[in-house]
A and B are shown apart, each in its own frame.
Chain A
Amino acid sequence: MLRRRDAVIAALGLSPRVGLAFARNSFLRLLSYRVRYVVGVANYFLYVSVHYYLMRAVLEANPRAVEPLLSPADLVTYFSVGWAARAAYHNEIDGRLAEQVASGELAMELIRPAAYPWIKYSEAAGESLFRVFFMSLPIFAVLAAVYHPLLRPPAGAGHLGLSLVSLVLAFHIYFAVNLLTGLIAVATLKIQGFLWAKFLLVQLLSGVMLPFAIFPAWAQPWLARSPFAALGHTPVLLYQGKLTGMAAFEALALEAGWTALLLALCAWAWSRARRHIIIQGG
């Protein structure tokens, strides 16, 4: 039984040990870029501050709109948790994949004895592990120090736990969205336009740019059901304790469903794309 499972894993190219090797490697490589890392932490601090002051200005101009839902403390907490989460799951595999297609470097990835999506997944996981410890946590510490009374702690240990579960699912969803975007490059070779479109969609539909409460009432339930909600809205609301009980479990189940669907879509898209690969530049 065990041997058959091993054979299946080997045939699919999904060996956990190979995945671990790539994850470790990706972690190591990130460690070798110190400057980029410090700049990254500073940038996230700016993202949160800019969004917070923008949103406060908007709300102060029109206080009755959503005031009860979004106090300054709510806003700071919302953006801090949202962007710290983004700092954790973010990767650029779509742009990298497009570069590899354009330069022909993809050839070198395709001679590795593991499935390409599995290699990318493992690398993204290694990168995210790095990002949790060396970006999200420091960023959160800086934000907590600067916005001390406003940035609230999680609503409770259970809430934090659910928020972290949601974050793990968010990593998978973001990975899948990026891989699918990157695979467009196999057909079109250049995807700069698609990258921008995806970036803006993720910013807008995840809630990291604008809380869903700002959107028209009819749009809110749909936004909460989209896979992008997992990338900001859901983990933040879980952290804040605004999503509890049955609603919390429903949100997580929905995220899990999207995760499974998108990962399956990745496997399918890859098996199709593989036949159409060309290697530019000899």
Chain B
Amino acid sequence: MIKVAALTKVFKTFDRREGLAGAVRDLFSRRYREMRAVDGISFHIPKGEIAGYIGANGAGKSTTIKMLTGILHPTSGSIAVAGLDPFRERQRYLPNIGVVFGQRTQLWWDLAVQESFSLLQRIYRIPEQDFRRRLQRFDEVLGIGAFLRTPVRKLSLGQKMRCELTAALLHAPRVLYLDEPTIGLDIEAKVAIREFLKTINREQEVTVILTTHDLKDIEELCRRVIIIDRGQLVYDGALLELRRRLGGELELKFHLKDAPRPEELEALRRTFPAARFANAESHTLTASFPQEALAKGEVIRAMLERFEVRDLSFEEPSIEEVVRQVYRGGLVAAGS
């Protein structure tokens, strides 16, 4: 559905010289510097997939989204979404997509939400029946009915985002671009929006590209992640695979009835040489090991056989930790 090949965007920025003398010199001759915001990115996203597009601030996420939505003109490379070039075939392309920029609004600030929706109905020529049906469906999932008569400027951030999503989806687009849709929202609103996205992805088979800094969004919604850093693609593949490859350590924590004796610990270490066992507090024992080295079940079974275990908890490497590792350069070769 979305095909991107060697996509590049170069911005020319001008470096200011320092001080008064420098500022005067800037008046006459400027020094320009080229900034490669997006640098030769390629990927392919099939129909109906939700892909997470992540990277640090300034990595080039938003620039990519703006090229995909036909707002920015790519310096080089090509984009084909549903077979159309977003920039050149803009008019035919735009009815096929929905866009939400978390920090902006596409609703009309001084009009009631309902007015904005009916304007969108006219702009996209949505038949009355479809319009009613979709609005009703979005109300069921997002509960927007309560503030349809409120002017947009009086909505809370969470209410506004629900309306933005509705606005982006009223014309039943085939592709939905979400640039930080959960930014600044409270947990309740975030959960509602994630549920909504899952629902519409399932019901309408809409293809979604999502950028976010909230990795919980990614974990909940995306099986596929694309990570970019300084304009370049550093990872493209399954979220699970990413977690597995970077691993991080799995940590099992056991609360024991009796404190383990040193010889028992020694025996454990001999049985599982790949794991580290720590006995920081007398009644707790933690086992840490790389996830691919051992099966959790094995360790747990051994522990249950040897000790009286009262409680057990385990921590998987968080996606945050994994992504931090990627940013730090932990992933050498990009997979695909």
Contact = CB atoms under 8 A, between A and B. Distances in A.
B69 A115 contact: no
Contact of B101 (A13, A21, A29, A108): A108
Interface in A258-282: 274-279, 281-282
B301 to A, nearest CB: 50
B11 A278 contact: yes
Contact of A111 (B11, B69, B92, B122): B69
A281 B63 CA distance: 11
Say what secondary structure dominates the interface of chain A.
helix
A5 interface: no
A92 interface: no
A112 B94 contact: yes
A93 to B, nearest CB: 16
A111 B111 contact: no
B111 A13 contact: no
Interface string B109-134: 01100010001001111000000000
A22 B104 CA distance: 20
Contacts of A138: none
A272 to B, nearest CB: 11
B145 to A, nearest CB: 22
Contacts of A105: 104
Contact of A18 (B73, B110, B111, B122): B122
Contact of B104 (A33, A108, A274): A108
A113 B69 contact: no
Contact of A278 (B72, B94, B103): B72
A25 B111 contact: yes
Given A21-B119, A25-B108, A113 B94 contact: yes
Contacts of B103: 281-282
| Chain B interface size range | 20 to 34
Interface in B67-100: 69-73, 90-92, 94-95, 97, 99
Given A11-B91, A25-B111, A111 B106 contact: yes
A247 interface: no
A17 interface: yes
Contact of A110 (B11, B70, B110, B111): B70
A277 B91 CA distance: 17
A28 B125 contact: no
A18 B123 contact: yes
A10 interface: yes
A220 to B, nearest CB: 39
A275 B75 CA distance: 9
A188 interface: no
13 contacts: A10-B92, A13-B91, A20-B122, A22-B119, A24-B119, A108-B101, A108-B105, A111-B69, A113-B94, A113-B124, A115-B91, A278-B72, A279-B66
Interface of A: 10-13, 17-18, 20-22, 24-25, 28-29, 32-33, 104-105, 107-108, 110-115, 274-279, 281-282
Given A13-B90, A111-B99, 10 more contacts: A20-B122, A22-B119, A25-B119, A32-B111, A110-B71, A111-B70, A111-B71, A111-B94, A111-B106, A115-B91
